[in-house]
Amino acid sequence: MGGFARRRYAPHQLVAGVDVYAGIAVAQALAQCVLRGFSTGQFTRPRLANWVNFSAGDRTERWAAVRKHLLTLCVCLCLASPGTAETVSWLYEVEVPVSDQSRQAREEGARAALLVLLTRLSGLREIPEQEVVLEALEHPDRYYNGFRFFETEQVDDDGEVIESLLLRVQFDRGAALRLIKAAGLPIWRADRPRVVAWVVVDDMGGRRLVGANEPSELLETLSAHARQRGVPLVLPLLDLEDRMAVGPGTVWGRLRAVLEGASRRYGADVVLVGRAERLIGGSWATDWDLWLGDERVLHQLTDYQLAAMGAHAADFVVDALADRLAVASTQARGLSLAVSNIGTPGDYGALLRYLNALEIVDGVSVDRLQGNRVDVSLTTRAEVDQLLAMFETDRVMAPMTFGPLSRYDAELSWVRR
């Protein structure tokens, strides 16, 4: 139902704890770097002092090894720096309704929230009932850092205030990804396309645009359900700038060039065009046009409830994106990359941080560091083409031409920032 929401936080709330596992991993990596350097005799005061004054022409194997250890040390320090800590996205924050603040209600709510999270991370509508998943649902507290209850108030169309109690659960990214991989579910990375929705409604009284400043039951459920499934959906403001470019006829006629131009102000990667029409007898018919680059996907729905149409439309959008972007393979493979244009410790650290942060990568190891090139081995469930497309989308690495006899799965050039 339409209306606004005001939240009041309950007094008894659990404060999220500290994820000590991330700190332990950083400490272990740092200790390994230092111990390995000193145990092999490559970390000594004279050598480190000489490395500081290392000239570009003196590229001996001995100095290259020292340089590699120092670069690794720099990476560890960068990872340990509070300024570079990864911010938890709302993807791992789930809200579910609960009946009260009892322990039983909290446990039931946490199980429901974990299921929502698994659908977000996998892109699946329904999570298979397999042993690993069922075991996790018995102990959902193993996968979250904290929770809190809060109340919402909504004013419906009749002016009545409706109160509800919600449980917000903050899940641990690492624990959740380990569960996804253990269950063999598809993995959809957290970097999701931003979708902007241009929707026009014809309720027999004329056609009108609906957006962020034009309340609509259809858009409320569309936006809420898309978020529940982990996709950021943007509703146009329909302010003067929008209305000068887009009118009801523009959306109804699906004028692609105009709508794509108007979508740029919202930083959208994907455009959704929707038309809803009330039919004789009271039912609604909607059709949806999803523009994914040069690809176009169509979907039609008919229902008596406009709110239900919004949820179905959100499923259509998320399913289309997940089918194209989620990595469904359960078989991990080893891939070798040669990355050039690594000229500074900062480049080296940024490369390893980027690769280690990818949800679809299980392991990263540096095989060789020579000049401005780094040879890296990855353990991943993704195909080479999927990785290359991801690198291009993120604008971090550009593919280089390499011959059929190359011993690498891909040769790339690091894009400095």
Three-state DSSP class for 302? strand
What is the 8-class DSSP label of residue 409? S
Q: Output the pLDDT for position 394.
A: 85
Q: Closest by alpha carbon to 43, among 30, 24, 56?
A: 30
Residue 159 is predicted with a pLDDT of 64
Helix intervals (H) in 96-146 = 103-122, 131-138
- For the ranges 3-7, 113-117, 183-187, 204-208, which has the lowest average pLDDT? 3-7
Q: What percent of the chain has pLDDT over 90?
A: 64
**CA nearest neighbour of 273 among 289, 255, 291:** 289
**Cβ partners under 8 Å of residue 416, min gap 6:** 341, 343, 347
Residue 276 confidence (pLDDT) above 50? yes
pLDDT of residue 158: 65
* CA 289/CA 266 separation, integer angstroms: 18
Q: Which residue(s) pair with 363 in the sheet?
A: 379
pLDDT digits (tens, 9 = 90+) for 141-194: 999 999 999 999 876 666 677 889 999 999 999 999 999 999 999 999 998 889
**Phi, psi angle pair for 247, to nearest 5°:** -125, 175
Instruction: Look up residue 375 and give its two tokens.
Output: 């040879």
Buried/exposed code over 66-94 (b: 16+ C-beta within 10 A; e: otherwise): bbbbbbbbbbbebbbeeeeeeebeebbeb
Per-residue pLDDT, 397: 95
All domains in the chain, ordered by first residue: 1-188 (no CATH), 195-325 (3.40.50.10070), 329-417 (3.30.70)
The model's pTM: 0.75
Task: Kindly report the three-state secondary structure assignment for every residue of 153-188.
Answer: EEECCCCCEEEEEEEEEEECHHHHHHHHHHCCCCEC
Dist CA 33 CA 72 (whole Å): 7
Would you call 78 helix, strand, or coil by DSSP? helix
